[in-house]
Amino acid sequence: MNADLHYLGLTLRTASPAVRERLRCDESTQWSVLVDLQDFASERMVLSTCERFEMYASGLHQDSANWVSRLGELFEADEASLQSQIRVMHGDDVMWHLFRVAGGLDSRLIGEPHILGQVRHSFLQALECGTVGPILSAMGRAAIFTGRRIRRETPIHAAARSSATLAVDWVRKKLGSLGGRTVLLVGTGRLATDVAGCLAVQRSGKILVVGRNLERAEEVANNVGGEGLTIHQLVDGIRRADAIITCTASPTFLVDRRTMGDGPGPLAIVDLGVPRNVDPAVSTIEGVTLCHLDDLADDAATSQEWIAAAEGIVSQEVRRTHDWLRARAVAPAISALIQASRNSTAAGSRESRQSLHFCIRHLKEAVAA
């Protein structure tokens, strides 16, 4: 076991949406967290997505309980809630977890296609920030390699469904059909683009795309024959819609009782935003059905054979990386032995070589034990 690997995280399996969204990081916030925690560990990496907030560390200076307290301060989150829902791991368990995450095996949708890119982005950001040293560098590179192997050698990703496809399927089931229906899409990022594409494939009647930047909203809309609107036209878009799908990074609710107005009629809403874009209170309005990201279910079962193949790759790469880290740990001692042997008056003798060989073998066996 490599004892100098540490993990602290909140995922959709351990934490509620309310707690996860408190720790949601944009690019600049993630950078700040890496810098601010320099007194906690010499090596640090943060992975923040809609499903997880995870910290990986090596060279720990302070107990993980102190990390929770500091995170509560940084994100103005309730420490007791964090403490009750956070998960802590050490040693090779950390490696297993990151490799499974990179391979899409820890996602809500097994084989989820975007997570490997998110792991890679987090690793590169930590490199650029200067918070990754030899231990996390080896683990991060190996995790990315593991994810790529799983994509290349198993069909698990080819069969994966995304949040976008699940959201559109949920709307279609609620409405009975998307034909002739108007769907309001709030957001213009990558996820919104994916949702728009899925809506086009399902041949929805009209796609309205709302964004803070009209030019970007029109670009997303034009690609699917839809109509772009500014955020100031959101209320009008809601009035025209049979369904709403939101997927923005807005820190506040965009759809609430005020924007909904009085009696909007039957309306299906999917909130893919983290933090949430839709006030849960709108579900009490007559005729409104609200589904959050965490409530979406994938009815298509992933082949257990494919999952087993992917888990086998994870096992191989964890073992390979563990061996590398173990060899690295003993390397300074071996170098010192070799140098001492060269400086010895008996250097080069048969007895000296045998003694050196015995000492090196003993060191390697001790580390492997």
* Active site (catalytic) residues: 50
Single out the residue of 267, 268, 274, 231 nearest to residue 250, CA to CA: 274
Residue 19 CA to its chain's centroid (Å): 15
Residues facing 87 on adjacent strands = 9
For residues 236 and 225, give the distance between their C-alpha atoms in angstroms, rounded to a whole number.
19
Interhelix angle 134-153/304-343, nearest 10 degrees: 150
Single out the residue of 163, 156, 166, 225 nearest to residue 189, CA to CA: 163
DSSP state of 305: H
Single out the residue of 69, 99, 83, 70 nearest to residue 15, CA to CA: 83
DSSP secondary structure string, 26-38? -HHHHHHHHHHTT
Helix residue ranges per DSSP H, 190-278 = 190-201, 214-222, 234-240, 257-260
From residue 78, alpha-carbon distances to 21, 40, 71, 242 in Å are 12, 20, 9, 38
**Cα-flanking dihedrals φ and ψ of residue 71, to 5°?**
-60, -40
**SS3 call for 163:** helix
Residues facing 89 on adjacent strands = 7
Single out the residue of 49, 43, 35, 48 nearest to residue 6, CA to CA: 43
